[in-house]
Structure 1
Amino acid sequence: MTATHTLDNVATPRPVPVARALRFEVVKLVSQWRIRLLVLVCWVVPALFVAAVSRQSSLPVDTLFGRWMHATGWAGPLVMLGFAGSWALPLVTSVVAGDVFAAEDRLGTWRHLLVAVRSPGRIFVAKTLASLGVILVLVAGLMVSSTLGGLATVGNHPLAGLDGHLLTASDAARKVLLAWACALAPTLALSAIGLLGSVALGRSPMGLLLPAVVALVMQLAQMLPLPVALRVALPGYAFISWNGLFAEPQQLGPLLLGVAVSLVWAVAATWLAYALFVRRDFTNLATDGSGRRALTVGALPLLGIGAVTVVLVAVASPSPVSGSGITQVKVERAVATAFAHLYVVQTGELNRPAVTEAQLRATAACDKGSIRVDAEGPGNDWRCVVSWHLPGIDATGQAVYQLDVTTDGRFVADGDGPKEVNGYFLVRTPTGDGPNPLWQFDANVELLSSTSKGSNPCR
């Protein structure tokens, strides 16, 4: 009786609250020298980079919005976003999320952590939220730093959109913020893949490199002539499709699908990481989760999710998605629209009588190398002849452009005459020589038809 009574009075240990475990995990993360170095780099280097490039005589014209870094401070954060989506954010997610679980395997501290927290599920939630919080701080640093560097160096001026129409400074600020906000979706997907790799591969260095490797594979895939459905179904597509925010009307279809696919991958990879973690045998010190079962349970469902997203994108898109999505009609429409917008800008620079896009009635006739070749798909052999009319003048103006169209729909139009319109990079204005907006310009072919226009895609 005495023994039974004594056992009944033993207090059952309760798991530590998630808030306390989260605070502990955040302290562990920020105490690491590499995390502190990343925070310093993300909050300081972008401002210095944008300020230095904006003062150079040569600009990164091969980068989207790079040619406008002399004109407005809002081009800097967009150039930084293009770089971050390709290199910085995959590296950040690898260093933070890809190591958050594997570090415990290397140090052999799982038993101590389990004794302290007394709940594998709460440990997973705390580590996931801590890594997510650090990643958000780093992303915010990249955006804020590059924006402040651009505004301090160049100023708060209007920005030319992707099709040449001018955005006011306030509208440019709003769209820059939206573009960075939408880029959070693929960042979350890479973070979730990092968590899954950290859990499934244990102390193996491959878990740390997994987000960067996946991002590199997605970049290579975007360079290949893949069908549109497969291209949009990759979780990193939102790193590219944010440029649709800067067209008129906004090209929101690819962006919305890219964000949705990224969020699906983020949720699925996080759930798989959780399922693997809570089923792990922590009593066996030789087991770090990197066995065959962990790889199959972690990798095969992601491949299945990829196949499902391809089918869903194909069904959700109102246009055919079996080809490249780059057709002659789309290229001609994009070139004519951008030319009309930029012709109005050039007219203002030259102090000529005002003209509107509707009065110009600009059209474009494009072919791809030869009339014997189908005018579709990416390539640097596109050639377009733009025609336009001025009010009160019977003659039709014409200008020639050589186009380099990439697989993601972006193209650079290089003017090929006449000289007084687009054949030279400077124009003689009443106040001196200035950049010719019609000499070279960036534009975008929408691979999918827009599902909505003018709405906020991240709301």
Structure 2
Amino acid sequence: MTGESGSAALERGRGSSAWSLLGSELSVLFRRRRTWAMLAALAAIPILIAVAVRLSSAVPPGRGPAFLDRITQNGLFVGVTGMLVSIPLFLPLTVGVVAGDTVAGEAGLGTLRYLLVAPAGRVKLLLVKYAGALVFCIVAPLVIALTGAAIGAALFPVGRVTLLSGDTIAPAEAVLRLILIAAYIAVSLLGLSAIGLFMSTLTDVPVGAMAATVVLSVVSQVLDALPQLEWLHPWLFSHYWLGFSELLRQPIGWDSFASNAWLQAGYVAVFGALAYSRFVTKDILS
């Protein structure tokens, strides 16, 4: 991660509006080599899947991740399989790194005090930091989906896609469904981003906030896998992460999407409030 001088941070905080401050935040985020390295690693997942399937003689039905055996029939399934493989660990890991670094990274570098000396305001700064993490949540699954579609089209035939309901759709509509799945996953990561933002306000050591966020995502998924805790499952932020199968049916079912969005909104509200409460009382300038 590249450092930033106090004067540069002060200039960054002088934005006259939240939009200019957000633009500066996104510029800093996407200029980091670490961000591009994480996006490159996510893009490598569907590429590795496609190459492995291409080099193998056949994929037995029911073996490996869902949709893996469909890739040889239609390359667009590479994108779906890539996102499915990335949801349990790789996407939460990258989102945890970005969200955990939002406030703690600035505090660790000593630039947070300069941002707050400028007329940015703590509430505005906190909202901008979270918005920056949300943009990454949108970009990350899109990278997997579009890279998967591209490498799948290059290595395998592309034609009408057979949905889980048995209906077939044209490739153009299938790409739109792929983007919808990426949007579903982006929504799924909103709650984790809010948790990471809160963790980031608790420490000046970004690695600690990153690790805590990723660990909580793993714990949530472990709890969701225990049948003895079935009563708890609907309240876990990871419960609907794999519920995008309704987007692969005709007609599209929006129940899972809506339930997931409401659940994530609840986590955003709770952990956003906790982050606000912590950040506005945090002793930074002393």
1-structure distance, mates of 2:87, 2:228: 20
Greater shift in the superposed pair: 231-240 or 186-195: 231-240
1:138 aligns with 2:137: no
The amino acid that maps onto 2:83 is: L
2-structure distance, mates of 1:177, 1:25: 25
1:341-369 deviation per Cα after TM superposition (whole angstroms, max 9, x unaligned): xxxxxxxxxxxxxxxxxxxxxxxxxxxxx
1:111-156 deviation per Cα after TM superposition (whole angstroms, max 9, x unaligned): 2222234522222222222232233222321111111111222132
* Alpha-carbon distance, 1:189 to partner: 1.1
Residue 95 of structure 1 aligns with which residue? Answer: 97
Q: 1:78 to 1:205 in 2, by over 3 A?
A: same
Residue 54 of structure 1 aligns with which residue? Answer: 53
* Alpha-carbon distance, 1:247 to partner: 4.5
CA contact (8 A) 1:94 1:191 kept: yes
CA contact (8 A) 1:120 1:278 kept: yes
Residue ranges of structure 2 left out of the alignment (5+ in a row): 1-13
The amino acid that maps onto 1:51 is: A
CA contact (8 A) 2:167 2:249 kept: no
CA contact (8 A) 2:130 2:193 kept: no
Match of 1:147 among 146, 149, 168: 149
Residues 330-409 of structure 1 correspond to what in structure 2 (within 5 A)? none
Match of 1:157 among 153, 156, 159: 159
CA contact (8 A) 2:224 2:238 kept: no
The amino acid that maps onto 1:37 is: A
2-structure distance, mates of 1:36, 1:97: 15
* Alpha-carbon distance, 1:197 to partner: 0.7
Residue 25 of structure 1 aligns with which residue? Answer: 25
Residue ranges of structure 1 left out of the alignment (5+ in a row): 1-13, 285-459
Residue 189 of structure 2 aligns with which residue? Answer: 187
2-structure distance, mates of 1:179, 1:231: 22
CA contact (8 A) 1:50 1:150 kept: no
The amino acid that maps onto 2:48 is: F
CA contact (8 A) 2:107 2:113 kept: no
1:218-263 deviation per Cα after TM superposition (whole angstroms, max 9, x unaligned): 2212321145552232111221111233346766544432332122
CA contact (8 A) 1:74 1:147 kept: yes
1-structure distance, mates of 2:32, 2:263: 33
Q: 1:85 to 1:201 in 2, by over 3 A?
A: same
Residues 107-118 of structure 1 correspond to what in structure 2 (within 5 A)? 107-118=109-120
* Alpha-carbon distance, 1:82 to partner: 1.0
* Alpha-carbon distance, 1:47 to partner: 4.8
2-structure distance, mates of 1:278, 1:257: 31
Residue 422 of structure 1 aligns with which residue? Answer: none
1-structure distance, mates of 2:28, 2:183: 27
Residue 106 of structure 1 aligns with which residue? Answer: 108
SS at match of 1:219: helix
Residue 169 of structure 2 aligns with which residue? Answer: 168
Normalized against structure 2, the TM-score is what?
A: 0.83
Q: 1:279 to 1:154 in 2, by over 3 A?
A: same
Residue 68 of structure 1 aligns with which residue? Answer: 70
Q: 1:118 to 1:159 in 2, by over 3 A?
A: closer
Rg bigger for which structure? 1
Residue 388 of structure 1 aligns with which residue? Answer: none
Residue 279 of structure 1 aligns with which residue? Answer: 281
The amino acid that maps onto 2:19 is: A
2-structure distance, mates of 1:15, 1:119: 11
Q: Whose helix proportion is higher, 1 or 2? A: 2
Residue 121 of structure 2 aligns with which residue? Answer: 119
SS at match of 1:201: coil
Residue 373 of structure 1 aligns with which residue? Answer: none
* Alpha-carbon distance, 1:59 to partner: 3.1
SS at match of 2:227: coil
CA contact (8 A) 1:110 1:282 kept: yes
- Aligned residues with identical type, % of pairs: 23
1-structure distance, mates of 2:253, 2:131: 33
2-structure distance, mates of 1:252, 1:19: 32
2-structure distance, mates of 1:249, 1:27: 40
Residue 263 of structure 2 aligns with which residue? Answer: 261
The amino acid that maps onto 1:141 is: V
* Alpha-carbon distance, 1:26 to partner: 2.3
Q: Whose strand proportion is higher, 1 or 2? A: 1
The amino acid that maps onto 1:169 is: A
2-structure distance, mates of 1:19, 1:223: 41
Normalized against structure 1, the TM-score is what?
A: 0.54
